Amino acid sequence: MLSQKTRYSIRALQHLADHVGTGPVPLGEIAEKQRIPKKFLTVLLSEMGRSGLVSAQRGRDGGYWLAKDPTEISYGDIVRLTRGSLALVPCASRWAYESCTSCVDEEGCRLRMVMLTVRDATADILDGLTLADDFKAFAADKRIPALSVGNNVTAEQH
Amino acid sequence: MLSQKTRYSIRALQHLADHVGTGPVPLGEIAEKQRIPKKFLTVLLSEMGRSGLVSAQRGRDGGYWLAKDPTEISYGDIVRLTRGSLALVPCASRWAYESCTSCVDEEGCRLRMVMLTVRDATADILDGLTLADDFKAFAADKRIPALSVGNNVTAEQH
DNA sequence: CATGAATCTATTTATTCAATAGATAATGGC
DNA sequence: GCCATTATCTATTGAATAAATAGATTCATG
């Protein structure tokens, strides 16, 4: 699962992407519009500043803006920077590899092979989508179906 | 990330898959061979028993075995049963959907659209692989490259 | 120099996860 | 019937991580 931190960060960046060219956006506005706790968001935006995703200006009329063009910031980048890895298991990360504790045989580990494949598929998607992408077109293209709300799942739905 | 619980569970099931037809495998053997804390494993195997993945027999010569044919147990099943969901965000789960707290507009949420796509790609992989699959062939087919160990990442490696 | 903003480090609080404990129940051999 | 063996269950502890908050500081601008 993605942490709140990652999710808040993505929403904040999307907000900034939607306001490119309109000058610095103050933290208070992002917090309010995106329903993110203000004080928490200061921490997140600071980190994103340090990692080069956003720039900021202090003082009157200050605020935040994207440090790069929205086409240059992919969802993969954001997840890597805020979460450390795209993978579901540290030994299947290509960006932040860590060997498993309590692993019996990493070379032959089937779990790791599966998870490497998943991580590559995930990367294909997340690295191919940027903050600039048009999600209405994207959704139509992928034909994302509506979700059945609740937990009423049938055997076939696995 | 997958929890230890999910990882241990998968390793335990793989062990059982490798011993189909040899009679009940006692917990102690699984724990030792797979390096899983014994007491913890009892909890995991109990849960897997309740969810119908394994069967067990008590007493002398007792132990565990797969409740179904290994071809009938996919990695997707295991992850869903032990973790609750394949998705990276609860509102993108099809099996265990939950709406986000602090979500502004779920219908139009771009993060959710991306994550639905990722969850579908993940499901394609994990539901297509079972405990019976031959991972040497799988790895060769997918041409899984060796990992560079450590965190020495260059800009191009994203 | 006062005001409005971001920035930084530390701390609290909540939640989740991993592991262990301890008592119980079934099975089979003698 | 009794004992050793093995699984089962519920609860608890302990540790780690994540979420959120606090408070002092710095910088820009009118």
Give the side-chain half-sphere CA count within 13 A for B70.
17
Instruction: Express each pLDDT in A65-123 by its tens digit.
Output: 999 999 999 999 999 999 999 999 999 999 999 998 888 888 889 999 999 999 999 99
B42/D14 CA-to-C1' distance in Å: 19
Q: What is the pLDDT of residue B136?
A: 64
Q: What is the pLDDT of residue A154?
A: 39
In this complex, do B157 and A118 lie within 8 Å of one another by their Cβ atoms?
no
* β-strands B54-57, B63-66 pairing: antiparallel
Q: What is the pLDDT of residue A108?
A: 87
Beta-strand runs (E) in A1-103: 54-57, 63-66
The two tokens of residue B22 are: 């040899």
Mean pLDDT of A15-28: 96
Q: Exposed/middle/buried for B141, CB within 10 Å: 0-12, 13-18, 19+?
A: exposed
Under the banding of pLDDT at 50, 70 and 90, the label for residue A63 is very high
Q: What is the pLDDT of residue A102?
A: 84
| Percent of chain B residues past pLDDT 70, beyond the cut | 85
Q: What is the mean pLDDT of chain A?
A: 89
Q: What is the pLDDT of residue A136?
A: 65
Under the banding of pLDDT at 50, 70 and 90, the label for residue B155 is very low
CA distance B20 to B72: 13
Q: What is the pLDDT of residue A103?
A: 86
Which residue intervals of B24-128 are DSSP H helices? 27-34, 38-50, 75-83, 110-127
Q: How close, in Å, is residue B75 to chain A by CA atoms?
A: 9
Any strand D atom closer than 7 Å to A46 CB: no
Query: Is residue B1's pLDDT more than 80?
Result: yes
- Report the residue of B117, B136, B151 to disrupt the A interface, i.e. the one with the largest count of A CBs within 10 Å: B117
Backbone φ and ψ of B156, nearest 5°:
-75, -15
Which of residues 97 through 116 in chain B touch A, CB cutoff 8 A? 97, 99-100, 102-104, 108, 110-111, 113-116
Considering CB atoms only, which of B36, B94, B114 is closest to A147? B94
Residue B35 contacts A, CB cutoff 8 Å: yes
Mean pLDDT of B101-113: 89
CA distance A81 to A69: 17
Q: What is the pTM of this model?
A: 0.90
Residue A38 contacts B, CB cutoff 8 Å: no
Q: What is the mean pLDDT of chain B?
A: 89
Residue B13 contacts A, CB cutoff 8 Å: no
Rounded to the nearest 10 degrees, what angle do helices B4-17 and A110-126 cross at? Answer: 130
Q: What is the pLDDT of residue A144?
A: 65
> In angstroms, how far is CA B156 from the centroid of its own chain?
31
Instruction: Express each pLDDT in B13-62 by its tens digit.
Output: 999 999 999 999 999 999 999 999 999 999 999 999 999 999 999 999 99
